[in-house]
Amino acid sequence: MSSSTTIIPGTSGPSADRIIVALDRPDAASALALVASIPDLLWVKVGLELFCSAGPDVVRQLRGEGLRVFLDLKFHDIPATMAGACRSAARLGAELITVHACSGREALAAAQAGACEGAAQEGLEAPTLLAVTVLTSWDAARFRAELAMAESPEDYVPRLAALAGAA
């Protein structure tokens, strides 16, 4: 199992405020052990593997430890489901939540509204939604062949980013 670290772009201040440690672990016990081994840790990322094995309780545990949570589940669904998922994620206390930009303007707007609603229900600040445009695992040839995309990823990414920004 590996862990990666992300630097939050556009931030300044102490390093602990700008670094997110990915808890790419198979279970809550190993994720919490990693957390305990890093002094002054403020931010953690919970991805699909950990969330599927440990569920929402792991987010609650991490928040209970005073950590800020980046919930990286890359939601992509119909607008009502996106709203509900982001509402629930915000109620858990996730401060950063990933969504797929290719879900479309309506779904992205619904996700934002749901996140704001969920945070308000818990008396929390609204989380920031991060729109995923194209996964880094795609190369141009596979992108065109497997997805039947006429555009290259280099052209598609800014268009989706603009769509997400508008939503």
With respect to residue 129, please indicate whether it lies within any of the assigned structural domains: yes
Catalytic one of 32, 74, 138, 161: 74
Assess if residue 61 is contained within a domain.
Answer: yes
Q: pLDDT in tens for each of the 167 residues of the chain?
A: 444 555 555 555 556 678 999 999 999 999 999 999 999 999 999 999 999 999 999 999 999 999 999 999 999 999 999 999 999 999 999 999 999 999 999 999 999 999 999 999 999 999 999 999 999 999 889 988 999 988 889 999 999 999 999 99
For residue 37, being part of any structural domain is answered with yes
Name the domain count of the chain. Answer: 1
Residue 126 falls within a domain, yes or no? yes
Residues contacting residue 149 through CB under 8 Å, at least 6 positions apart: 143, 156
- For residue 7, the model assigns a pLDDT of 52
Residue 160 lies in a domain: no
In terms of residue numbers, what domain contains 11? 5-137
Q: Is the pTM of this model over 0.85?
A: yes
42, part of any domain = yes
CATH at 104: 3.20.20.70
Token code pair at residue 112:
């934002």
Q: Is 45 a catalytic residue?
A: no
